[in-house]
Amino acid sequence: MTYEQIMYEKLLAHQNCTVQIDVNFEHLPNPGEWATTEYEINAIEIANYHDGANVAIECTKCNEVIIDFDKQTELVKENVQ
């Protein structure tokens, strides 16, 4: 199995992962019936750690790192020169 196939399968395994969030509209002048509303959003997120030294695609529902990358300082130095 190729790397691309493995990553495809890992991402596909989390396609239905969702989390619920509460959005508060009380700060609006006339919030009415929409004062607090619950939404369901995708649980996949991109996280940036240590000022970009590491970037990860994570599932916040499963608390699983799907894939992560470390910044390649050697490659960055070569591209700058």
For the segment 48-60, the average pLDDT, to the nearest whole number, is 92
What does pLDDT average to over the chain?
84
For the segment 8-14, the average pLDDT, to the nearest whole number, is 93
Domain ranges of the chain: 3-80
Q: What is the pLDDT of residue 81?
A: 54
- In sequence order, what are the residues at sequence separation of 6 or more whose Cβ sits closer than 8 angstroms to the Cβ of residue 34? 25, 28
Q: What is the pLDDT of residue 38?
A: 79
Count the neighbouring beta carbons within 10 Å of the beta carbon of residue 23.
Answer: 10
79 pLDDT exceeds 60?
A: no
pLDDT band of 71, cuts 50, 70, 90: confident
Q: What is the pLDDT of residue 6?
A: 92
Structure token digits, residue 62: 């499963």
**How far apart are the two ends of the chain, measured CA to CA in Å?**
36
2 pLDDT exceeds 90?
A: yes
